[in-house]
Amino acid sequence: MKLYTPVKQNLSLFEKHQPLIERAIEALHKRENYEVFPEMPSPKHYGETAEAEQKQQFESQLGSRFERLKQSHDTWVVSDEKSPFTGKRLEVSYPAYKDYSTYIATACDASSDWRQTDARTRAGILTESLERLKAKFYEVAFSTMHTTGQSFMMSFQASGPHAADRAMEAIALGYQELTRFPDRLTWEKPMGKVTITLEKFSTIVPRGLSLSIGCSTFPTWNTVPGLYASLITGNPVIVKPHPRAIYPIAVVVACLQEVLEENGFNPNIVMLAVDTDKKLITRELAENPAVKIIDYTGGSAFGQIIEALPGKITFTEKAGVNSMIIDSVSDLKAMAQNVAFSLSLYSGQMCTAPQNFFIPKDGIKVGDSHASFDEVKTAIVEAVRGLVGHPKMGHAVVGAIQSEATQKRIKEAASLGGEVLLESQPVENPEFPDIVSASPVILQVSPSDRKVFESELFGPIAFIIPTADTKESVKLASSIAREHGAISCGAYTLDDDTMDMIAREMAGAGTPVSFNLTGNIYVNQNAGFSDFHVTGGNPAGNATFTNPEFLLKRFVRVQSRVNKEA
């Protein structure tokens, strides 16, 4: 029977990548450490000459047209991208449409075969696109560095291997959900002397056109999970990057379009829709009735607008106010160094960076001894000062400040009230004398100053808050998470009952807790195939990277029946 046979099927790439796809599904279930793409830039994994060649590729791209995209267009747009390290504009031009609605019509027209093909064909093509992207990780790193302000190492890891792992996670989970039940089966029910026999057929119906709205600080890591989740489930995607961070995700889209075209599909199934600060098109795209799915990363105000749009399925990650609860520690210096790194990394321009440090005013237990509140706060302040002032480590950790709004926020932080414990200072980078940088500013405020610290102040801004005890610390952290959202929480305690109490209260506020981190593991980090990023349980976002709902809401399964006796 030809009913529901895929319109276009190509299993060669699925057969090539089937062991990887099955291994990724296994890792999803075990939640173990699993890396498809090793996180360190290494000649062993990425080629002896790859870094030098791709740096040259990046530099030669500056000031010219990005001609690798295979999508339709009727004009070229010069981006607003500007390097926080050099202060220079990238002057890269991208193919675009003069009328935003043409993206919608073109993507919808291109999607017919993709919607009607099978999960194996899609999984093979999408996995192949990540293999192509692997050969561009260095270029992605340099372009991320010079659009976001991340250091080179962070840019390589976050926008390259870590992002690709998250994309592979979406492919694996999507493939599993699409193939969880048989496409066709024979159903028999004995009814006395007769048996009813029906043939049942399932059709996967994608929800429709997907819009992926990127952010300025993590242009690939935050974008590819939703992008690949929509593609594996058969939906065409318009990728609308932030006007200041286009280049990195343009490389991803180019790899996807290349593999799609090679395998007989219209490359416009995934399109890059660029705009500028002077002529933004995000809202027009999002409000168009043809757009059925929206993935969004960015500020809460616009995120709430996205979530409220009628007739849309939305997956959002917005602002969060992350807390650090310090109750007791085994090693004060180790704790201080760990939280100092978490606060300083990429100058706090991370959705997981801690902002509020709650410490009992009577001090904390340190092993078998005691440290006063002043000793604890001094340890943190001095750890930050020592890290950012380190001649080799400091500039590599803090990177650069991405936006003028963050710069302004840092400069105005001292006027928020309370006592300034550590002033923000520029962090010199010997390679980039014109860098825009800033070390963290740390203020001490009272618990009664809640209006000062209950909202996210994106960037390297931290508050140390003396509380009556750990119970008050947890009450403040959990209530802020419930009201304003939180994506991460760090906690230090030597007491099992206290640990249970913190975990329980913060879980009730939809916030995961990382306990007693020291050494080379930080609250900022999330591991693909193991950690769920954002819970959807508080105002920081309504979705999770990557749980079944992140895939299941992008398609419906329709089952039909045929009477074999007719």
222-258 burial, b at 16+ Cβ within 10 Å, e below that, comes to bbbbbbbbbbbbbbbbbbbbbbbbbbbbbbbbbbbbb
Phi and psi for 498 in degrees, rounded to 5?
-65, -40
Min mean pLDDT across 39-48, 148-157, 342-351 is at 39-48
Sign of the torsion angle spanned by Cα atoms 220, 226, 232, 236: negative
94-147 tens-digit pLDDT:
999 999 999 999 999 999 999 999 999 999 999 999 999 999 999 999 999 999
On the question of pLDDT at 2 being above 60, the answer is: no
Alpha-carbon radius of gyration of the chain? 25
> For residue 388, what is the enclosing H or E element?
helix 373-388
- What average pLDDT does range 546-566 have in this prediction? 92
Half-sphere exposure of 536 (CA within 13 A, CB side): 14
- What average pLDDT does range 30-44 have in this prediction? 91
- What average pLDDT does range 393-420 have in this prediction? 94
SS3 content of the chain, % helix, strand, coil (to 5): 40, 20, 40
Q: To 10 degrees, the CA torsion angle through 307, 309, 310, 313? A: -50
> For residue 373, what is the enclosing H or E element?
helix 373-388
pLDDT score of 1: 47
SS3 497: helix
Percent of the chain predicted with pLDDT > 70: 99
Query: pTM surpassing 0.75?
Result: yes
Q: Which residues contact 434 (CB under 8 A, 6 or more apart)?
A: 85, 86, 87
Distance linking the first and last C-alpha atoms of the chain: 15
Domains of the chain, each with CATH number or no CATH: 49-316+543-563 (3.40.605.10), 323-515 (3.40.309.10)
298-354 tens-digit pLDDT:
999 999 999 999 999 999 999 999 999 999 999 999 999 999 999 999 999 999 999
CB 207 within 8 A of CB 555: yes
452-468 tens-digit pLDDT:
999 999 999 999 999 99
- Cα separations in angstroms, 499 against 295, 352, 513: 34, 20, 10
pLDDT score of 565: 77
On the question of pLDDT at 450 being above 90, the answer is: yes
pLDDT score of 536: 95
Burial of 52 (0-12, 13-18, 19+ CB in 10 A): exposed
pLDDT score of 8: 75
Between 1 and 150, the more confident residue is 150
pLDDT score of 301: 93
On the question of pLDDT at 362 being above 90, the answer is: yes
Residue recorded with tokens 């760990």: 338
On the question of pLDDT at 37 being above 90, the answer is: yes
Residues 323 and 26: their CA atoms lie apart, in Å, by 33
- Report residue 566's pLDDT band, with 50, 70 and 90 as the boundaries: low
Long-range contacts of 198-202 (CB under 8 A, 24+ apart): 198/561, 198/562, 198/563, 198/564, 199/1, 199/561, 199/562, 199/564, 200/559, 200/560, 200/561, 200/562, 201/3, 201/4, 201/559, 201/560, 201/561, 201/562, 202/4, 202/557, 202/558, 202/559, 202/560
- Dig out the tokens for 129 from the structure: 């696109």
Task: DSSP for 69-131, please give it.
Answer: --S--SEEEE---B-TTT--B---EEEE-SSHHHHHHHHHHHTHHHHHS-HHHHHHHHHHHHH
pLDDT score of 239: 98
